[in-house]
Amino acid sequence: MLIARSTDYAVRALKYLAEKNQETSAAELTRELKIPWPFMRKIMQSLGKHGLVASRKGPGGGFLLAKAPEKIKLTGLVNIFQGPVCLNECIFKKKICPNRKTCYLSKKLGEIEEHAFLVLDRITLKEIIEGGHNHG
Amino acid sequence: MLIARSTDYAVRALKYLAEKNQETSAAELTRELKIPWPFMRKIMQSLGKHGLVASRKGPGGGFLLAKAPEKIKLTGLVNIFQGPVCLNECIFKKKICPNRKTCYLSKKLGEIEEHAFLVLDRITLKEIIEGGHNHG
DNA sequence: ACAAAATGATACTATCATGGTATCATATGT
DNA sequence: ACATATGATACCATGATAGTATCATTTTGT
Ligand code: FES
Ligand code: FES
């Protein structure tokens, strides 16, 4: 799977924040998006650590988008929650394969991976919001 | 990961069979390809069930390629060992997402998946063998 | 006939990534 | 002070993949 659940949840949360454009608590996000509360909190904390949202503690506190939606790329989110986009780790017995440089199959998988990366890298939160879609 | 270990092992085994072009036992495959014996057997049995190799029991028995290398497609192997190529299963809480039809993100992931499929579908065992590669 | 060598079938276990939970500490507004 | 929020972190659950074990069946050679 290219997009893990955590990444997907993050997209939904960010979309909600962007559309509401007001400080929003994790509780509200949980309620509106039907995402389990502790999991949601973990996700928001990750987003905070990586500077995608700003947070404020205390009553009335919550999260605010910290970057413009057009600056938030899907590849960035994938990186945070799943690590680098990777479809091509020829692992033989848990050791990275020594033949990668010359391997035909690896080359082809590399092509796929690159294409996937390019597509994902061009998708921003803004596009997702405006894309005439239903995500979330 | 696009190609699972089992699929990769299958490719190596088939390549070996194709190059040797003689009846070959699982024991030899295990020995030569450094793949765990019971796992190798399981893989060969799957390949047999799906008609990619023919088998013969008894002393001196073993496996033979049952299709021409150019007829063995990577997508076929992926199907056997991993199921359909799929990078795009928006699963929300274990239920297939109802928004798929209109979802922007799903559309983009679908594009990636389709590209991946097309590339894999054009790779045959023959190409892998002749590809100036080292797979295995 | 018999033993050995091979595959067929199938059930089981192990490992690991992901998804999800729980707890306590810390900050903030009233 | 106290309630309400997030920060940090450790823990648990689940499922997919990788790998193992066992027994039945077929074939060959003596
Ligand atoms: S919201 Fe489910 S496919 Fe996009
Ligand atoms: S054999 Fe490892 S990259 Fe192909």
What is the structure's pLDDT at A121? 98
The domain limits of chain A are 5-129
Contact between chains at A99 and B11 (C-beta distance less than 8 A): no
* Cα nearest neighbour of B94 on chain A: A5
Q: Is the pLDDT of residue A28 over 70?
A: yes
Any idea which residue has 């092992």 for tokens? B9
Amino acid letter, B58: G
Q: Are strands A62-65 and A53-56 parallel, antiparallel or unpaired?
A: antiparallel
In this prediction, what percent of chain A has a pLDDT beyond 70?
A: 94
Q: Is the pLDDT of residue A94 over 80?
A: no
Put residue B51 in one of left, alpha, beta given phi > 0 → left and psi -120 to 50 → alpha: left
Q: Which two tokens stand for residue B9?
A: 């092992």
Confidence of residue A15 (pLDDT cuts 50, 70, 90): very high
Measured between CB atoms, which of B104, B112, B120 is closest to A131? B104
Q: What's the rounded Cα separation, in Å, for the pair B26 and B33?
A: 10
Q: Which two tokens stand for residue A47?
A: 């987003």
What is the structure's pLDDT at B93? 56
What is the structure's pLDDT at B90? 79
Which atom of ligand 1 lies at the shortest distance from residue B98's CA?
Answer: 2
Contact between chains at B115 and A115 (C-beta distance less than 8 A): yes
- Smallest CA separation from ligand 1 atom 2, residue: B97
DSSP B52: S
In this prediction, what percent of chain B has a pLDDT beyond 70?
A: 95
Q: What's the whole-number mean pLDDT along residues B42-48? A: 98
From the CA of A6, how far away is ligand 1's center (Å)? 14
What is the structure's pLDDT at A26? 98
Hey, what CATH topology would domain B5-129 get?
Answer: Arc Repressor Mutant, subunit A (1.10.10)
What stretches of chain A show up as alpha helix (H) in DSSP?
A: 5-20, 26-33, 37-49, 74-82, 104-121, 125-130
From the CA of B23, how far away is ligand 1's center (Å)? 49
What is the structure's pLDDT at A117? 98
How high does pLDDT run on average in chain B? 93
Q: What's the whole-number mean pLDDT along residues B5-24? A: 97
Residue numbers in B near A127 (CB within 8 A): 104
What is the structure's pLDDT at A82? 97
Q: Which two tokens stand for residue B136?
A: 């295995």
Q: Are strands B91-92 and B95-96 parallel, antiparallel or unpaired?
A: antiparallel
Contact between chains at A89 and B120 (C-beta distance less than 8 A): no
Contacts 24+ apart (CB under 8 A), A22-31: A22/A64, A23/A56, A23/A60, A23/A61, A23/A62, A23/A63, A23/A64, A24/A62, A24/A63, A24/A64, A25/A61, A25/A62, A25/A63, A26/A62, A26/A63, A28/A62, A29/A63
What is the structure's pLDDT at B130? 92
Burial class from Cβ neighbours inside 10 Å (0-12, 13-18, 19+) for residue A50 reads middle
